Amino acid sequence: VRFAPSPTGFFHIGSARTALFNWLYARHTGGSLILRIEDTDKLRNTEEALQVIFDGMSWLGLDWDEGPQAGGDFGPYFQSQRDDIYREYLDKLRANGRAYDQDGAVYFKISGEPQIIDDAVRGRVERTEEKDFVIIRSDGSPVFHFVNVVDDIAMGITHVIRGEDHLSNTSKHTELFKSFGAPLPVYAHIPLILKENGPGKMSKRDQGSLIENYRKRRFLPEAVRNYLCLLGWSPKDDREILGIDEIISLFDLPQINRNNARFDEKKLSHINSKYLHDLPPGKFVEIAKAALLEEGVIDGATDPDYVAAVLTLSQEKLRAVEEVGAFTRYFFHGDYEFDPKAKQKIFKKGDPRARVAELRASLASLDEFAEEASEAVVQKLAGKLGVGTGEYIHAARLAVSGTNVGPSFYGLLRVLGKERVLTRFDRFLAEVK
């Protein structure tokens, strides 16, 4: 199989899904994936744009068996470097009477016969080309249809897995294959990815369409890859979270849906959060700490053990790494504001200031804030006063964090430690009325 992108500066989610399906099929069958760069558009193609493709595929874990950086027996792997090959194949068409010159361009002479494609996804498709078409432009540059087929023949491609929008080109391509006396590959035209809101195919201008945006937002590549698998394919038991080895073992062309797939960023975010929660704590700390450093929430002098404790405590509550700075900032900075909505909600019931003062006095006698010891203090106070433990917990959480959401309360006290907690209680009692 092959993935043949054009380096135009973006790695679109549709291109990534096409690359993934080719990669999965190659891995499932023990085949090879060739990366072929369609870089004949000299005005739009740049080294930076090429690097976007390499980086995006590598980030998703889609290694290629042949192509740029990997080498192989069928190079060069850039179409801009294959002119000699294209001339050789053009000479074959001229020799058998299937190519002719007109108005400075070179045309391909069609057979006029119906072209029947047994598509592995779409089923039987029949179409007849009605007029000859250009294969070499008047400026000497080859047309997509010609070089696409020549490269597939020269590289020994047996299966062409690509977007459904290419289905209309396929009769031109089968005409060309037959004119060279080459066997047809198996075609599998996969469903389009529709934009999240409204009709139409997702384009690079639509929100959520670029793989590089998910990299910048620190989505986990395994989660994005898992989600992309579900855009047009699913295991028979309708599970959504699957390890890549299991996906490889299950993936096959007949299971690909014919119906178009609609992009759903909420679903992608949900899958990402599941992967985040399942990360080994050490790996999560490594990823989240890098985000905190980049955002300036911590610096190189911040105690690494404290950072690890904060992040390990927060892992089960975080939905995305991009939220880690806002979620944990108060652990590292005592100048947080008290959220007005949280404050209003908590002050509607009971006497939060009194609860914080009582809790401060009782906790001050503890040497350290082990979770069981802190919980025993809160339960004893609540029982003595005849109120729910929530009155202490909500008021105290607001006092030490400025908000009413966060990780487990007793874990919060333990990680903040006695000195920070008591100092923050004092600040709350002095500033919040």
Q: Which residues are catalytic?
A: 204
Alpha carbon distance 125, 192 (integer Å): 17
Is residue 220 within 8 A of residue 65, CB to CB? The reply is no
Q: Which residues lie below 8 Å from residue 233, measured CB to CB, with a gap of 6+? A: 21, 251, 255, 256, 257
DSSP string, 187-244: EEEEPPEEPSSSSSB--TTSTT-BHHHHHHTT--HHHHHHHHHTSS---TT------H
Is residue 174 within 8 A of residue 185, CB to CB? The reply is no
Q: How far apart are the first and last CA of the chain?
A: 68
Peptide linkage before 76 cis (omega within 30 of 0): yes
Is residue 86 within 8 A of residue 167, CB to CB? The reply is no
Of the candidates 77, 87, 230, the one whose C-alpha atom is nearest the C-alpha of residue 157 is 77
Phi, psi of 12 (to 5 degrees): -70, 150
Alpha carbon distance 69, 55 (integer Å): 12
Is residue 264 within 8 A of residue 202, CB to CB? The reply is no
Residue tagged 């744009």 (tokens): 49
Phi, psi of 183 (to 5 degrees): -70, 145
Of the candidates 235, 176, 229, the one whose C-alpha atom is nearest the C-alpha of residue 62 is 229
Q: Note the maximum CA span of the chain.
A: 100
